[in-house]
Amino acid sequence: MPTNVEIKAKAPDLNNLRRLVSEISSSPAVEMDQDDTFFSVSSGRLKLRISSVSQAQLIYYHRHDSPLPKKSYYIVSEVHDPSSMRALLTESLGIIGRVRKHRTLYKIKNTRVHLDEIEGLGTYIELEVVLARGGLVEEGRLVALDLMSRLGIDVASLVSGAYLDLIRSSRQGGET
């Protein structure tokens, strides 16, 4: 299963992060809107992602909810009929929530950097260090920590869980 090491952090100043990331990025920024529908599964998370720049995807992933750099396993499958797929998954599994966002994607070597504006939640940055097959998680953690330092991401700004969890928590008046 493909594996990455990732972090998610609150990002109150996206303009500054955009400037810093663009200075070290190995590719131009890609702007997109994404609509993720999450479904009820016994372990991990399953979402149907509809994006403004690519085909819809069904994404399953599993990771521990920790604010520190963590390992994430994932499987991605292209979806040719997202409306039908959403109906099928809704009927069979049930929807647990939806996340809509504007994402700016950058690449820095083997790391995907996401600058996200989440509807109803705020602004965040995600780092996803993609590991080569058989790559060591510790190497991915070191890359994530180095990028955090270079981008000025403070450990105190790290969050655990998925955007869906943060949205649910904010609606309940809690903090994740």
pLDDT of residue 26: 83
The CATH number of the structural domain formed by 3-171 is: 2.40.320.10
Q: Where are the domains of the chain?
A: 3-171
pLDDT of residue 174: 56
- Whether the CB-CB separation of 40 and 94 falls below 8 Å is answered with yes
Helices (H) and strands (E) in the chain, counts: 4, 8
Q: Is 102 left (phi over 0), alpha (psi -120 to 50) or beta?
A: beta
Average pLDDT over residues 77-84: 97
Per-residue pLDDT at 165 exceeds 90: yes
pLDDT of residue 132: 92
Q: Model confidence at 47, in pLDDT bands (50, 70, 90)?
A: very high
pLDDT of residue 1: 80
- Whether the CB-CB separation of 10 and 124 falls below 8 Å is answered with yes
Average pLDDT over residues 81-101: 97
Q: Please give the C-alpha separations between residue 38 and each of 9, 47, 89, in angstroms, as whole numbers.
A: 21, 4, 9
